[in-house]
Structure formats: C-alpha cells, structure tokens
Amino acid sequence: MTQFWLWVGFIGMVIGSVYFGLKATTMRRKEGMEFPLESLFITLWAAAMYLTMILGETVLRDFNGQSEVFVGRYLDWVVTTPLLLLELGVIAGLRPKLIVGVIGADIFMILTGLIATLARTPNNYLWYIISSGAFLAILASLLTEFSVSAKRRNGKVNKLFQTLRNVLIVLWICYPIVWIFGPEGFRAINVGVETGLYAILDLCAKVGFGFILTSASNETLAQASNSDRIMEAVHSYMHEQTEQSPYR
C-alpha cells in the first residue's frame, strides 16, 4: 500500500511537470512565464523526492525504531512550500521583505515538523505544537498582509490570488491533521493510509495549485508578474501607513 501511493505521487508529479513544461514553452518570452516555470520546478523536485522514497534512499527509522520516517517528504516540503508562498506573494504584490519573512517561518515550520517526527514521545508533541504555531502565523499572514496587498491589484489578479490562497489554506490545514492521527502522533491510521493521504494532498497542493495558476489568461499572468504594478501596490501601502501614522 505504501509503495503504491508513493508511485501515485511520483507519476502524478511527473505528469504535472510535463504539463507545466509545455505551458512554459508556449509562454516563452512572455510576461508571466515564470509562473509555469516555478510550477515545473515544484513538481519536478517533488517527483525526485518521491522517487528517493520509493527507492528507500530517504526513508529512516525513528529513534524508537518502531516506524519509518520519510525524510524525503520533508526535503520536498522545505523546497516546494516556500516556492508556493513566493508565487502567492508575487501575485499579491507583497513587499519582498514580508515574503522573505513568511518563507522563513515556513522553513522553520517544516524543520520543526521533521524534529517532531523524529523525536520520542512526549517530545514529539512539543515540537508538533511549535511547528503548528509557525503554521498559524503563516495562515494569519495569508489572511491579512497578503490579502490586503492583493486587493490593491487588478480585479482579475486579486480574484486569482483569492482562489489560490483559499485552496492552499484548506489543503495545508489537512497536513497537521494527518500527522497527529498518523504513526508519528496518535497512531490512529497506519503508514499506508498516511502515505496515501499525503500523496493526494501533495498532488492537489502542487499540481492542482499550479494548474489553477497557469490556467489563468496570459494577460492576467502578465499583470500578476508585472513589477511596475507590484511597486505601485508597495507605494500605495507605504502611503497608507504614512497617512495613518500619529507622528505625521
């Protein structure tokens, strides 16, 4: 069962990579080409990590020696989730420093999640809570700073952002739920079921997310990536903060 779902994840990511590669080719030398390229790298890296897990190269035993730890899963997430946030940040026209800050929180979340997976009970729950705290901070950023910035952009770009944000939030909320009920947590589900759930979530969060993004019109993607428009959103934000400052 575990191997079956790993193969499903691998094949799905390969199919996604082919699709995004072809999409990037059709958008060659066009504004917005970076979106299918980023989606291509996301799925390509995920496919590579799934292959390492299939071959057992990134599968270890936990400190208790009782269950398998799929380190490749975390090597996948620590690269691909920051890229997903980067895409959302660019579409929203968010300030670069804020994007970097949220990506930093995301990397912290993934690495502390890995520690939680490796740690003995009850320390694993402590690290799970720490990782979940970073996750809540990311969700708050998506619903506040990201969303406020996106509202200053073109209507179609803002609509695209809201769709992608909502999809990502719903899917990402499922990950810690699977973890806590999986072999690393309460052991309510076995490794095979856990692997299947993660594979489905990964395909939706990477291939599905990328498909929604790259299915937008070339005009919308061009507007989303236009640096001048992003800087306009930044200047608008800074102007609003200046107007609201009590020291003005």
pLDDT digits (tens, 9 = 90+) for 1-21: 899 999 999 999 999 999 999
Q: What is the pLDDT of residue 242?
A: 53
Distance (Å, rounded) from C-alpha 43 to C-alpha 197? 17
Segment 167-225, tens digit of pLDDT: 999 999 999 999 999 999 999 999 999 999 999 999 999 999 999 999 999 999 999 98
Q: Between 235 and 6, where is the model more confident?
A: 6
- The sign of the torsion formed by the CA atoms of 167, 173, 175, 181 equals negative
Distance, CA of 23 to CA of 25 (rounded, Å): 5
CA distance linking residue 168 with residue 209, whole number of Å:
8
CB atoms < 10 A from the CB of 90, how many?
Answer: 20
Query: What CA dihedral angle connects 223, 228, 234 and 239, to 10 degrees?
Result: -120
Domain ranges in the chain are 2-230
- How high is the pLDDT of residue 230? 47
Asked whether the predicted pLDDT for residue 37 surpasses 90, the reply is yes
Cβ atoms 12, 203 nearer than 8 A: yes
Q: Which of these, 37, 45, 36, 53, lies nearest to 13 by C-alpha position?
A: 45
Tens digits of residue pLDDT in 80-131: 999 999 999 999 999 999 999 999 999 999 999 999 999 989 999 999 999 9
Grade residue 244 by pLDDT with cuts at 50, 70 and 90: low
CA 169, 150, 138, 144: dihedral to nearest 10 degrees? -100
Residue 122 to residue 144: CA distance in whole angstroms: 34
User: Which fold is adopted by the domain 2-230?
Assistant: Rhopdopsin 7-helix transmembrane proteins (1.20.1070)
Residue 173 to residues 33, 136, 192, 215, Cα–Cα distance (Å): 29, 9, 20, 24
Alpha-carbon 214 to chain mean position: 16
